[in-house]
Structure 1
Amino acid sequence: MAGRHAQARFDFSLRKKMTPRDIADMFNDFAEDYEQVYVTLDWRPFEVVGDFMAKLIPEDHRSKLKVLDVGAGTGLLGNKLKNDGFTHVDGLDPAENMLNVAKRRNIYQRYLCAFINKERNGAIETDYYDYIVASGAFNEGLIPCEAFQEMIRIVKPGGRITFTVPTRYINSSDNLRDQLLPLIDQLAQEGVWEVTSVALEDGELSSTDGPGTLYSLRVFVSEKKF
């Protein structure tokens, strides 16, 4: 458990003063024992997202789809998708050591060590992915709301951006509280996407996170700047 910014692994309030690079370095130091620690918390947002995708998409269609796992980490969600028949899944994460754990298990087809924000990632074509997924990646210091601009660009019109977020993180994170829900509503009103939301009960995401929501945003445009 030693490493840079170790206390911020669980005390998210400490992340408010950390840069994105600081947070990526924190996860780099945490990579080898990341899954072991989170198993003790009965942490399963990756199962919630994976189960939603399996219900949404018929089994015989899954191998035809390109999926990007954003905030892929060690590949928990990617591995579930792979086991459920999604054979073309890429992983994106700024913490190289986390991706290296997934790489040893041969989980993803492509490993993209990068931050996701509003800046264009030249390694990803416009309208390339059928689906973008994220589990446990919307809390203090992780995916910023401005990253939806890039996610809209790289997902195909008609595709979806699907992610979970615990309610308490929305309430405590400046980024999420002030931007996430207003942005989802605004872009829905503008016809950029259609929103499906699934209420998650206390305990569905983990033993400690409390209730939350799964959002699945069906995107209708190739790009949207904001």
Structure 2
Amino acid sequence: MSGRHIDARHNYNLRKTMTPQQIADMFNDFADDYEEEYKGLGLCSHLRIGEYMAETYPEHQRAALQVLDVGAGTGYVGETLSELGFKRIDALDPAQKMLDVAKTKHVYERLICAFLNKNRIDEIETDQYDCITAAGAFNEGLIPVCAFLEMIRIVKPGGRIIFTITDKYIANTDGYRKELLPFIQKMADEGAWDITAVPLADGAIHRPDGPGMLYSFKVNVTEKHL
């Protein structure tokens, strides 16, 4: 891997000219060091997801719910949800070596190596999941806005898409700055989902990155096309 790609681990501006495959390759090369580096940086978005999931789903329902952990990486969210009683969890990530680490946690039923974008993921059926979670997966070069259409397809009507994002990433990420919030509102106006937005304090997602938001979209439709 080039020195530039190593620097892009934490300098998101360097990701602006990288292809999705280059970013996936960066995380593949990063897999063995990822948890050690990010624990030192105060990554805690997975904890916010776990707290919200525990508040949303009563304990007696959790074991039966089908959850897809998007941008699963090495399995932080999967571990957190498993400890809370969620047992039917699948992982989705484009970096196979990150998934290889996640597999060792023994918290996922399936590990799917695929990019989440506007394209259909053939391994996943329409209306398959009760909930999609994504922690730390919305920043430069990762999940594009168009991917919400595929998420709507694979979540059951009445199911949820739950994710965290910092205000900093909304403001500074090329693909989000002018598109993300208008798209979220457009889908709500058209009845595709109902929005719950939970403000998160400075450092609640990732210590260096300031305040942000946890979004929970209750999906009302089977599919949505622009």
Q: TM-score, normalised by structure 2?
A: 0.98
For residues 157 and 77 of structure 1, what CA distance do their matches in structure 2 show?
23
Q: What SS does the corresponding residue of 1:9 show, helix, strand or coil?
A: coil
| Aligned residue in 1 for 2:69 | 69
For residues 2 and 15 of structure 1, what CA distance do their matches in structure 2 show?
13
Code of the residue aligned with 2:191 in structure 1: it is G
> Residue 88 of structure 2 contacts residue 108 of structure 2 at CA under 8 Å; is this kept in 1?
yes
> Residue 87 of structure 2 contacts residue 107 of structure 2 at CA under 8 Å; is this kept in 1?
no
For residues 212 and 88 of structure 2, what CA distance do their matches in structure 1 show?
28
Code of the residue aligned with 1:210 in structure 2: it is G
For residues 33 and 10 of structure 2, what CA distance do their matches in structure 1 show?
14
Deviates more, 1:45-54 or 1:200-209: 200-209
> 1:2 deviation in Å?
8.4
> 1:73 deviation in Å?
0.2
| Aligned residue in 2 for 1:56 | 56
For residues 161 and 103 of structure 2, what CA distance do their matches in structure 1 show?
24
Q: What SS does the corresponding residue of 2:106 show, helix, strand or coil?
A: coil
Q: Matched residue pairs, number?
A: 226
| 1:63-85 Cα deviation digits (max 9, x unpaired) | 11000000000000011001110
Q: Note the aligned Cα RMSD (angstroms).
A: 1.2
| Aligned residue in 2 for 1:186 | 186
For residues 122 and 101 of structure 2, what CA distance do their matches in structure 1 show?
25
For residues 179 and 79 of structure 2, what CA distance do their matches in structure 1 show?
31
| 1:6-39 Cα deviation digits (max 9, x unpaired) | 0001110010000000000000000011010001
For residues 31 and 2 of structure 2, what CA distance do their matches in structure 1 show?
11
Instruction: Give the 5 Å matches for 1:48-197.
Output: 48-197=48-197
> 1:206 deviation in Å?
2.0
Code of the residue aligned with 1:64 in structure 2: it is A
> Residue 4 of structure 1 contacts residue 25 of structure 1 at CA under 8 Å; is this kept in 2?
no
> Residue 90 of structure 1 contacts residue 109 of structure 1 at CA under 8 Å; is this kept in 2?
yes
Structure 1 unaligned regions, length at least 5: none
> 1:151 deviation in Å?
0.3
> Per the alignment, do residues 216 and 118 of structure 1 end up closer, same or farther by CA in structure 2, a change over 3 Å counting?
same
> 1:4 deviation in Å?
7.0
For residues 168 and 4 of structure 1, what CA distance do their matches in structure 2 show?
22
Deviates more, 1:129-138 or 1:200-209: 200-209
Among the aligned pairs, what percent are the same residue? 55
For residues 85 and 8 of structure 1, what CA distance do their matches in structure 2 show?
35
Structure 2 unaligned regions, length at least 5: none
For residues 115 and 192 of structure 2, what CA distance do their matches in structure 1 show?
23
Are 2:4 and 1:10 equivalent residues in the alignment? no
| 1:159-211 Cα deviation digits (max 9, x unpaired) | 00000000001110111111110000001011110000000110111220100
Code of the residue aligned with 1:213 in structure 2: it is M
For residues 2 and 101 of structure 1, what CA distance do their matches in structure 2 show?
23
| Aligned residue in 2 for 1:217 | 217
| Aligned residue in 2 for 1:40 | 40
For residues 106 and 120 of structure 1, what CA distance do their matches in structure 2 show?
27
Q: Which 4+ runs in 1 deviate beyond 2 A?
A: 1-4
> Per the alignment, do residues 3 and 99 of structure 1 end up closer, same or farther by CA in structure 2, a change over 3 Å counting?
farther
| Aligned residue in 2 for 1:19 | 19
